[in-house]
């Protein structure tokens, strides 16, 4: 499920998302002309080529570093793409282990919502985040800082990249949110949590609400949200219901509301399997791009 809002001006959407269970990712590109879009698309395309059965932090890191190489190589070959780069925040779920391995570069974010608490899992690689960590800026000041979109680490700007990787244990009831800074530069964590609490049982509605809220707050940048939810379930029974879910291409948002495909997609088990296990329901991928400004903003 996706949504793109073109606004009233020329659109340039440099955010790309991937919802290809068990892999989820958000990439927010930067670069002149269409280079930012190219960088984020190359990143996601590289991730999507993951080998079957890839799992764990090493796999995520290898995928992200390969994505980096491809973007960097392309930027050397194509003068119009020189200097392009992108953030990436990726989560690779390991259903058997009950964990997710995350890989992260830049200022897109991963959050976990568990038991009514919103926790930011990733650390921004940004100028303002470093100033906040150093105690030289408050979170509030960071939101208004003129360099708030400047990142200190990106994919594709150098031959190799340092990737943050870590593993989180999954629990039934968890909701994971991957998003670009178009959401988090417009909304405070408490506001995100407030919406998550209000729409917790309806990820489609939550995604829409997050995007609408970021837009209402100014919508200064492309906004991308990917949500997935962990539910208690049962193991794969081998009846073919474990096929990967192909993300639905984002339709152009029309004036008239259109019916949405169901956002809840299962993979894994049939009912009646005997062994308890984690069944993941890939709930939603939402990419929304709301570019309100004419100029390119990362
Ligand atoms: Mn952005």
Domain boundaries, the chain: 3-290
Q: How distant, in Å, are the alpha carbons of 124, 187, 261 from that of 153? A: 9, 23, 36
Report the separation in Å between the CA atom of 57 and the middle of ligand 1, taken as the mean of its atom positions: 25
- CATH-assigned architecture of domain 3-290: 4-Layer Sandwich (3.60)
Report the separation in Å between the CA atom of 28 and the middle of ligand 1, taken as the mean of its atom positions: 5
- In DSSP terms, which residues pair with 162 in a beta bridge? none
Contact 247, 195 (CB under 8 A): no
Cβ-in-10-Å burial (0-12, 13-18, 19+) of 51 comes to: exposed
Report the separation in Å between the CA atom of 94 and the middle of ligand 1, taken as the mean of its atom positions: 28
Report the separation in Å between the CA atom of 87 and the middle of ligand 1, taken as the mean of its atom positions: 9
Residue by residue, pLDDT tens for the chain (298 residues) are 334 332 223 367 899 999 999 999 999 999 877 899 999 999 999 999 999 999 999 999 999 999 999 999 999 999 999 999 999 999 999 999 999 999 999 999 999 999 999 999 999 999 999 999 999 999 889 988 999 889 999 999 999 999 999 999 999 999 999 999 999 989 999 999 999 999 988 888 999 999 999 999 988 889 999 999 998 875 443 333 333 343 443 433 333 333 333 233 333 332 333 233 333 434 433 444 444 333 344 4
Distance CA 298, CA 282 (A): 28
**Per-chain residues with Cβ under 5 A from ion ligand 1:** 28, 180-182, 221, 298
Q: Is 136 helix (H, G, I), strand (E, B) or coil?
A: coil
CB atoms within 10 A of CB 139: 11
């Amino acid at each position: 499920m996706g949504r793109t809002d073109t606004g009233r001006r020329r659109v340039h959407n440099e955010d790309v998302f991937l919802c290809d269970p068990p892999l989820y990712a958000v990439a927010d590109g930067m670069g002149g002309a269409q280079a930012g879009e190219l960088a984020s698309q190359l990143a996601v395309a590289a991730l999507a080529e993951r080998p079957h059965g890839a799992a764990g932090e090493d796999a995520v890191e290898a995928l992200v570093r390969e994505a980096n190489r491809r973007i960097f190589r392309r930027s050397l070959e194509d003068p119009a793409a020189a200097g392009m780069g992108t953030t990436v925040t990726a989560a690779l779920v390991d259903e058997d282990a009950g964990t997710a391995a995350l890989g992260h570069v830049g200022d897109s974010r991963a959050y976990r919502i568990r038991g009514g608490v919103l926790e930011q899992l990733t650390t921004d690689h940004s100028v303002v985040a470093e100033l906040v960590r150093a105690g030289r800026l408050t979170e509030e000041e960071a939101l208004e800082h003129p360099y708030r979109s400047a990142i200190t680490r990106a994919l594709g700007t150098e031959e190799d990249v340092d990737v943050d990787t870590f593993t989180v244990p999954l629990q039934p009831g968890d909701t994971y949110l991957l998003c670009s800074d178009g959401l988090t530069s417009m909304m405070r964590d408490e506001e995100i949590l407030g919406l998550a609490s209000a729409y917790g049982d309806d990820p489609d509605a939550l995604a829409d609400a997050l995007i609408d809220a970021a837009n209402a707050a100014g919508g200064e940048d492309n906004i991308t949200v990917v949500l997935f939810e962990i539910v208690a379930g049962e193991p794969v029974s081998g009846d073919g219901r474990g096929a990967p879910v192909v993300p639905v291409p984002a339709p152009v948002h029309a004036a008239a509301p259109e019916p949405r495909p169901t956002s809840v997609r299962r993979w894994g088990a049939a009912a009646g399997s005997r062994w308890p296990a984690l069944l993941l329901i890939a709930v939603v991928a939402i990419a929304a791009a709301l570019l309100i400004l004419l100029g390119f903003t990362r």
